[in-house]
Structure 1
Amino acid sequence: MFSKKMEDAFNAQINAEFYSEYLYLAMKAYFEELHLTGIANWFGVQVQEEHAHGLGMYDYVHERGGKVTLGEIAKPEIKGKDTVAIFEQVLEHEQLVTSKINALVDVAEAEHDRAALSFLDWYIKEQVEEESNVRQLIATLKLIGEDKKALLMLDRELAARTYTAPVIG
């Protein structure tokens, strides 16, 4: 049985996933304005991933017989104005998402909802990967420092990133 508490927790996480999509869309626009199209592409792939994550949870709630209730999505705010600071914000945001998914797992454990625990296992693994990828980018950006040629090389590398639809659950 899909409890009301579980339904509410999933609806909150759906909102968080779509906020992530919106935040990364704002960051994509920022880098497009700077003509760093490779970095913008990296964020474009993130937008698609977050959208898929939100829809995965949306579909799961329906599959379990729950009701999806969509809430207002907050306006995203880009805190930094340099590439390193923005990616540090991304890492901070991904860590927040990880904590929210962990809290959702806590609800599933408290509700003894084994199906939700099984479903959320994919999201836990995904968050480990997300945080690791962003940490690597931050390390690379810090090594680059003020070297604009190296930044352009990284930008070209990130332009090659493509979206692969995840198999969630």
Structure 2
Amino acid sequence: MNKKVVDLLNAQVNKEFFSAYLYLGISKFFTKINLPGFASWYKVQAQEEQEHAMKIYDYLLDNDEDVSLDQIAKVKVNLKTPLAAAKEADKHEHYITGEIEKIMDAAIEAKDYRTQLFLNWFITEQEEEERNSKDMVVKIEMLGDDCKSLYLLDKEVGSRKG
């Protein structure tokens, strides 16, 4: 495999594990403000991000490449409101999409067709991730300061299963 593509994939493993940390931090925020449905939703999201990291991990090893397990950065997000938490998640999903696109660009440049095929799954997944994060922002924005509606939404999002 092309060294640049391998390096970017290795970096992405770390970014996906960081994503899991970020979502655990958001889950913790919702637990602390007594919204267990949101906390559960973001905990499931954290598990999904770990699965994404492991897909890349396995892909690298299956292609006889080394996997660099670097230190995961500390989550430094100071959340104040449910809307701020949802916006942070949405911002992060857009960032991850951009990072996946950078890897795809490198794979195209290297004519690494196998990695391009592999990355197609992530591109489709990111479309879904961005849609879900945007929907969460929109729903919370629609509620404004209505605590009763937020409570009902908490019950709805808490039904998400891993």
- TM bucket by the smaller chain? over 0.9
8 Å contact from structure 1 (residues 79, 89) kept in 2: no
Runs of 4+ in 1 over 2 A off after TM superposition: none
Output one character per residue of 1:57-82: Cα deviation in whole Å (capped at 9) or x when no partner: 00000011100011111111224310
Amino acid at match of 1:77: K
Q: Give the share of equivalent positions with the same residue, in percent.
A: 37
Cα deviation per residue 1:14-59 (whole Å; 9 max; x = unaligned)?
A: 0110000011011111111112100001101101100000000000
Query: Shift in Å at residue 3 of structure 1?
Result: 2.2
Which residue matches 1:39? Answer: 38
Task: Determine if the alignment matches structure 1 residue 4 to structure 2 residue 3.
Answer: yes
Counterpart of 2:142 in structure 1 is: 143
Amino acid corresponding to residue 19 of structure 1 in structure 2: F
Q: Which residue of 2 aligns with 1:101?
A: 100
TM-score scaled by length of structure 1: 0.93
Taking the aligned partners of 2:141 and 2:21, their CA distance within structure 1 comes to 26
TM-score by length of 2: 0.97
Shift of 1:136: 1.0
Structure 2: 5+ residue stretches without partners: none
SS at match of 2:69: coil
Query: How many angstroms apart in 2 are the aligned matches of 1:9 and 1:80?
Result: 30
Aligned Cα root-mean-square deviation (Å): 0.8
> Secondary structure, in 3 states, of the residue corresponding to 2:151?
helix
Letter in 2 for 1:159: G
1:166 maps to: none
